[in-house]
Structures are given as structure tokens and as C-alpha cells.
Structure 1
């Protein structure tokens, strides 16, 4: 991706509930935002715009979720936007005072897209609790940029925007950590993933989709049929492999 004039980049904003995600959204967009509902859902949507260094961003505040396993309408909305909305970058907000718990969602999103910036928010509260977070070490472990912020007082926002600019300009190469599963699961992923890639192409995370189908995620199968141009029969063919 190369940033240029008159271009607007689509940004996804994801994270667990109560991480200060909405506060960050407001800090970035100010009054340049609007709310509504996701199509066909009762889930509230929030979108806004902001500019930095001459680049315009359209940011979509996804519902706060603990996972992308489609156990709720919120999780389905977040998952579908990350899959089919093709954001140019995804900001994943994590609570600095409960980082280990929040990393579950971070790792799931890294399986879907490599264009991720982890925003460790509430860093001021973490300091008050004596919690020290090494952003550089965490970035090395995750393979993506990590920025420490306190959205409510503006700390780290400029650094975050600078990192975002570099990402959309193609100046940051990420190498997300890849989760490895039991040998049996990896063998089944290896069998199904080429079929997923053949039907869906390289624009989608074939490994993650194969994993979710193997886990029996019928909601994802339905979403694939609704959102893709691939023939229904080809998508349906994933089912027997999953069950095998």
C-alpha cells in the first residue's frame, strides 16, 4: 500500500469491552463521527474520519468482543468486517492492566490480518498499579507494532498516528506470530487450507478460515456464502472436509 493524495484509508478499531476503545475513537475523530446500526443487525455501529500528515482515515469502531468465535451478534459483526471489509489497518485496543487476558483477541485478529497495531491503552492506570509494560519486547513477540496510550489524556496518540501513517505508506513490515496447534489439528488444516485458497483466493486468511471450519463454525460458512462471489457449491464443499 502506498499513501497518496485524495486517498482515504479504512481503519478497523477492535478490542475487548472496557478497554477505552470508545475513548480512543472519540479522541481520534472528535465530532467527525456518526452512529447507526449494522445492516440486518441490532448491533450499534460507529464510524468517523480524521486526518494526519495529509492522509485521511475512515475509522470503524467495531463492537467490543472477547473473541471472534461468532458466539454473539457482536462477534459476528467484528469478524465479518475484518474478513470482508478489508481494512487497510486494524487497531486492536488492549487494557494495560489486564494485558494477558486481552491478548486472546489480539492473537485471533493476527490470524486474520497482518496489518495490525496493538494499542495498549490505560497505561496511566497500569503505572498507578505498578505495572510496567515493555512495548518493544511485546512488539517483537507479536510481530506487529505496539503503542502505549492513555486515550483519556491524549498520551501516545501522536505516536499511534505516526505508526499508522507508516503502516499505510508501506513503511512497516509486520510478521505476526503464528499459533501452532496439536499435530492432528495442523494436519487437518494442511489438508483443508489449499481447498479454501483455491475457492477464495489469496485475499482471505485461508489458514484461519480452515481452522474455523474445522471447528464447525456454521456462522462463518453462512457468512462466506453471503459475502463472496464464489459459487455456492464450492463454498458448501468445505463442509464434508470439515466433518471428516
Structure 2
């Protein structure tokens, strides 16, 4: 009987040490190419922990997942359609306010998230103290402090990944509350979105993207679903514009 190979996505802003973490986890067991139909680099690697195999996909470094660029579309689509067993969101501990924006977007897309608080060595040099336990409580997902280039925190991260893929960690991701007007529109659109996407995709997040006029998501949804989905998704998009 073949062992299950778990898939891990690695997301984060540029310059957070994401590639360093990828290299530390995979060593020489990695290769690069292009994403299908894109000029965006695809980096993929493998690692073993407690006799179990993991495939890790290093997503393009982005500041958001709003599909404003090919990099953002690739990262968004892999999290939504690739359905990784775990998504690691790498944050720069010295610039949390800027980095948390991406983390919150990922939390709207999946509940299988571990926040990697990297560059903790730099934060300490600057006299910064971060209450990781409280941050974890507020975000509703594990937060692991790291200094990837020194391999600090790697063992804790690997153990946290293993526990999450085996269902030993239950998360309650922070749900961002928007203005009253936006929340009312989401409420109106949600039933139709759920009718179209069912439980396969995060309905609230899809509704938000449709309200924002994200046509690239509509095309991606149509591509990943059967032809009958086209009519329903187009109707949902039309309703979003009219709300």
C-alpha cells in the first residue's frame, strides 16, 4: 500500500525569508520550472519527517491574492484549487503590520494554515518582543517563531505540520468583518454562491471576490469545474454586479 504524500504550500510577501525556509526544508530535493501556461517560476521540493513524505510548493512571493498579476493568480489558484494539506504563511517578524494583510487573505481561503513568524533573530536585535501565543489565539491558527537561516524553530514547525495533516490541530481562522454595506451584500450573495460551488470552495471568499469584480476568478472556477458550472457562475457574477 502506497503511503500518502502530503502537500504543503508556502506563501508570503517578498523578502520574508520564504525561499530560505524552502531551501532549509528541502535541501537538494527540489526543482524549478514554469507554471503551466505561465511565465511564473514554479519551485517544488520534497522532505521527509517521521517517515512520511511531503511535497512543498513555493508559491510566488506576493503582497496580496487579489489576482492583479500573474504571480498573484498562480498563488491564489494553487491555494484554492490545489487544496494543499497545509498552507504555510511566512511573515517578517520585524514588519508584522505590513505582512499580516496576506495572512488574513489566506485565512479567508483555507483553515489549514500555519503562520511562520520568520526573522525572529532580526526582531530580537531590534528589541522587539512578540507574543506569539496571543497572536495565535487572535488569528485562530498555529504561529511558529522561526529564524530559518539559522534553522531555529524548524523542528517545531515540522511537528506542527505533521500534527495538522493528521487532524490533531483544529483551527478557527479569524474572520475579517467588513463594513455593514459589504456584509449585507455578502449575505445576499452567499446563498447563490453556495448553490453553485457547494462545499468545494470557501463560499464567503468567492462572494467577496465576485463583489470585487474579480473576473479572473470566474474564469478559473469555470476551468476547474464541469461545463454546467458556467451558467451558474455567470449568473452569480451578474447578481454580484447588481447588488
Same fold (TM over 0.5): yes
Deviations 1:60-87 (A, max 9, x none): 0000000001111000000000110000
Partner of 1:208: 205
CA distance in 2, matches of 1:10, 1:151: 20
CA distance in 2, matches of 1:221, 1:138: 34
- Given the alignment of the two structures, is residue 186 of structure 1 paired with residue 183 of structure 2, yes or no? yes
Q: 1:145 to 1:5 in 2, by over 3 A?
A: farther
Q: How does 1:167-186 map to 2 (within 5 A)?
A: 167-186=164-183
CA-atom RMSD, angstroms?
A: 1.1
CA distance in 2, matches of 1:46, 1:202: 29
Detail structure 1 runs of 4+ shifted over 3 Å in the superposition. none
Structure 1 portions without partners, runs of 5+: none
Deviations 1:145-180 (A, max 9, x none): 000001101000000000011000100000001011
Question: How many residue pairs are counted as aligned between the two chains?
Answer: 241
Partner of 1:124: 121
CA distance in 2, matches of 1:152, 1:13: 16
* Matched residue SS, 1:36: strand
> TM-score of the superposition, structure 2-length normalised?
0.97
CA distance in 2, matches of 1:231, 1:83: 16
2:230 corresponds, among 214, 229, 232, to: 232
> TM-score of the superposition, structure 1-length normalised?
0.97
Q: How does 1:66-105 map to 2 (within 5 A)?
A: 66-105=63-102
Q: How does 1:145-164 map to 2 (within 5 A)?
A: 145-164=142-161
| Conserved 8 A contact 1:5-1:54 | no
